[in-house]
Amino acid sequence: DAGITQSPRHKVTETGTPVTLRCHQTENHRYMYWYRQDPGHGLRLIHYSYGVKDTDKGEVSDGYSVSRSKTEDFLLTLESATSSQTSVYFCAISDPQGGYGYTFGSGTRLTVV
């Protein structure tokens, strides 16, 4: 979707290294989310943000941290990547005032070797 961009699209990293994924939106939506998608598990919420500097944990937050210093950017950091964090990561945005429609980015495929 043109209003939300994830970077990088693909990344291979080594176990134990820190990794940061970026989500950038141009819609000025208040809420931003990070999900991971794994076969057989669907999408699981990692962290979400309901405003600048306001974040909360989701279902699978262990090993992940987030930051949101500007409305448009939501960063996901893997402090010390592990093979279990190999996944496809999706960012999403929503605007409750606009009808709760969630818009998803195209995803980042992360491989930890």
Partner 1 sequence: AQSVTQPDIHITVSEGASLELRCNYSYGATPYLFWYVQSPGQGLQLLLKYFSGDTLVQGIKGFEAEFKRSQSSFNLRKPSVHWSDAAEYFCAVDFNQAGTALIFGKGTTLSVSS
Binding residues (CB under 8 A) for partner 1: these are 1, 31, 33, 35, 40-45, 48, 50, 58-59, 90, 92, 94-96, 99-107
Nearer to partner 1, 48 or 78 (CB): 48
Residue 50 beta carbon to partner 1: minimum distance, rounded to whole angstroms: 7
Angstrom distance (rounded) from CA 38 to CA 65 = 19
Nearer to partner 1, 63 or 107 (CB): 107
Angstrom distance (rounded) from CA 7 to CA 109 = 10
Residue 93 beta carbon to partner 1: minimum distance, rounded to whole angstroms: 11
Nearer to partner 1, 87 or 94 (CB): 94
User: Which residues sit opposite 109 in a β-bridge?
Assistant: 10, 88
Residue 57 beta carbon to partner 1: minimum distance, rounded to whole angstroms: 10
Nearer to partner 1, 42 or 113 (CB): 42
Residue 69 beta carbon to partner 1: minimum distance, rounded to whole angstroms: 21
Q: State which amino acid sits at residue 51.
A: G
